[in-house]
Amino acid sequence: SSDYRNSVSLPRYVRVNTIKTTVEEVIEHFQSEGYVLEEPIKILNNLSPKTIRKDFHLSDLLILPPNTDLHNHALYLSGNIILQDKASCFPSYICSPSINSYAIDACAAPGNKTSHLSAIMNNTGKIWAFDLDKKRLKLLEKLTQRAGCKNIEAIHKSFLDVDPLDERYSKVEYILVDPSCSGSGIVNRLDGLVDSSEQETYQSDLIQKTQERLKNLSEFQIKIILHAFKFPSAKKVVYSTCSIHSQENEQVVKEVLQQNNNFILANRNDVIPTWDRRGISSEFVDDEESAEKLIRTLPEDFTNGFFVACFVRKTSYMENSA
Ligand code: SAM
């Protein structure tokens, strides 16, 4: 399994931008181009050319065969569809901010998850979208405008420098935390982080560099989640990475649970229960339930390698489920 990232080609996932159109309209558009609508299925290899189907888990997602190039397609250029891997649609879907609510996207650019949040909120309420990278934030502004989002304010700033007690954010209930990570889950990218057969030929100092990099990344990831926990009205904080390393995933979760008293993991039932691949249980000794509350994806699931954790404020979560 070590070199899957070079050999796999994933289906072409199409997220329907429900701000501008509907799933039915998009399907009809593709049908008018000769696509044939087929039944949703879980096993997505051998998709026939010119077929389209609804996704099994996400209602706003459509699936086309691999290598379908839609970058010049009218629906893409008009912001009616977003080209986004399935797994990266999970965080906003799990966050599910309600209509007229307030949200923060802490590491937002280029904004695929921001526009997804915006669509789920039906373009109401408000989303503050932070990013440290000015160029990427410009792209976020362009893409979210194209998507018709009217409830987003893009701010060029480190999320760590945002004051959680600032009056402006006093009603923020939902926070998405999708920080920089190693990217080791991304298919077709070879960054030399995972491949064990390759690692044997590595110079030992290169391995050490990798470990150092993962350590730095996870320290940053822990910091940024703990910062999100400080917002007084935050009741849901969704953390995600496109990494397959437990140092950036389960181990980060363990650490932030240990370092705070207010947030716990949401129950499995509230975190796409129909998704089978969960967190790595051996990372949670004496606490296998925690792993079940987390989501992992791999190319075997026809997506990039990805990780999602959904933290909820203990008090409000208990009240709601009582
Ligand atoms: N959520 C984005 C999306 O779905 O389109 C992708 C985000 S990408 C994985 C991580 C982002 O975090 C990068 O754009 C990077 O510039 C940003 N970033 C890194 N450090 C940050 C910080 N301290 N505050 C805010 N953003 C930061």
pLDDT digits (tens, 9 = 90+) for 35-73: 999 999 999 998 999 999 999 999 999 999 999 999 999
The tokens for 84 are: 């986004």
ipTM associated with this complex: 0.99
- 307: pLDDT strictly greater than 80: yes
- 4: pLDDT strictly greater than 90: no
Query: pTM, whole model, 2 decimals?
Result: 0.94
User: What's the CA-to-centroid distance between 79 and ligand 1, angstroms?
Assistant: 22
- 152: pLDDT strictly greater than 50: yes
Report the pLDDT value the prediction gives residue 208, as an integer from 0 to 100: 83
- Rounded CA-CA distance 216/210 in Å is 10
- Rounded CA-CA distance 190/15 in Å is 26
Closest CA to 178 of 153, 159, 202: 159
- 247: pLDDT strictly greater than 50: yes
DSSP-derived secondary structure letter, 278: B
Q: Is the CB of 180 under 6 A from ligand 1?
A: yes
- 188: pLDDT strictly greater than 90: no
Neighbouring residues of 8: CB distance < 8 A, sequence distance ≥ 6: 187, 188, 299
Neighbouring residues of 111: CB distance < 8 A, sequence distance ≥ 6: 105, 129, 139, 140, 141, 143, 144, 152, 154
User: What are the start-end ranges of the E strands in 198-305?
Assistant: 236-241, 263-265, 295-297
User: What's the CA-to-centroid distance between 136 and ligand 1, angstroms?
Assistant: 9
Report the pLDDT value the prediction gives residue 104, as an integer from 0 to 100: 99
- 1: pLDDT strictly greater than 60: no
**pLDDT, mean of residues 16-28:** 98
Report the pLDDT value the prediction gives residue 204, as an integer from 0 to 100: 73
Three-state SS string across 44-65, please?
Answer: CCCCCCCEEEECCCCCCEEEEC
**Which residue among 114, 141, 176, 180 is best mutated to probe the pocket of ligand 1, counting the most ligand atoms within 8 A of its Cβ?**
180
User: What's the CA-to-centroid distance between 110 and ligand 1, angstroms?
Assistant: 8
CA-nearest residue for atom 23, ligand 1, is 158
- Rounded CA-CA distance 21/12 in Å is 19
Report the pLDDT value the prediction gives residue 322, as an integer from 0 to 100: 56
Report the pLDDT value the prediction gives residue 2, as an integer from 0 to 100: 44
User: What's the CA-to-centroid distance between 179 and ligand 1, angstroms?
Assistant: 5
Catalytic residue ranges: 242
CA-nearest residue for atom 14, ligand 1, is 109
Report the pLDDT value the prediction gives residue 119, as an integer from 0 to 100: 98
Q: What is the DSSP code string of 73-134?
A: -HHHHTTSEEE--SGGGHHHHHH-PPTT-EEEETT-TT-HHHHHHHHHTTT-SEEEEEES-H
State pLDDT tens for residues 285-295: 888 899 999 99
Atom of ligand 1 nearest to the CA of 160: 23
User: What's the CA-to-centroid distance between 162 and ligand 1, angstroms?
Assistant: 14
Q: Is the CB of 248 under 6 A from ligand 1?
A: no
Q: Which has more pLDDT, 147 or 42?
A: 147
Q: 296 pairs with which residues across the strands?
A: 307
Report the pLDDT value the prediction gives residue 97, as an integer from 0 to 100: 98
> Vertex 149, ends 148 and 151: CA angle to 5°?
150
Q: What is the amino acid identity at position 154?
A: A
Give the whole-number percent of the chain exceeding pLDDT 90.
85
**pLDDT, mean of residues 262-276:** 98
Q: Which has more pLDDT, 1 or 151?
A: 151
Q: Is the CB of 179 under 6 A from ligand 1?
A: yes
Report the pLDDT value the prediction gives residue 201, as an integer from 0 to 100: 52
- 108: pLDDT strictly greater than 60: yes
Report the pLDDT value the prediction gives residue 271, as an integer from 0 to 100: 98
Q: Where are the alpha helices (DSSP H) in 230-286?
A: 250-259
- Rounded CA-CA distance 215/182 in Å is 11
Range of lowest pLDDT (5-14, 168-177, 221-230)? 5-14
The burial class, CB within 10 Å (0-12 / 13-18 / 19+), for 304 is: buried
State pLDDT tens for residues 189-224: 544 444 444 444 556 777 888 899 999 999 999 999
Give the whole-number percent of the chain exceeding pLDDT 70.
92
Closest CA to 97 of 267, 226, 238, 232: 238
Report the pLDDT value the prediction gives residue 275, as an integer from 0 to 100: 97
Report the pLDDT value the prediction gives residue 29, as an integer from 0 to 100: 98
- Rounded CA-CA distance 57/25 in Å is 20
- 143: pLDDT strictly greater than 60: yes
Q: Is the CB of 110 under 6 A from ligand 1?
A: yes
Report the pLDDT value the prediction gives residue 78, as an integer from 0 to 100: 97
User: For the stretch 180-211, what's the b/e string if a residue is b when 16 or more beta carbons lie within 10 angstroms of its beta carbon?
Assistant: ebbbbbbbeeeeebbbeeeeeeeeeeeeeebe
Q: Is the CB of 131 under 6 A from ligand 1?
A: yes
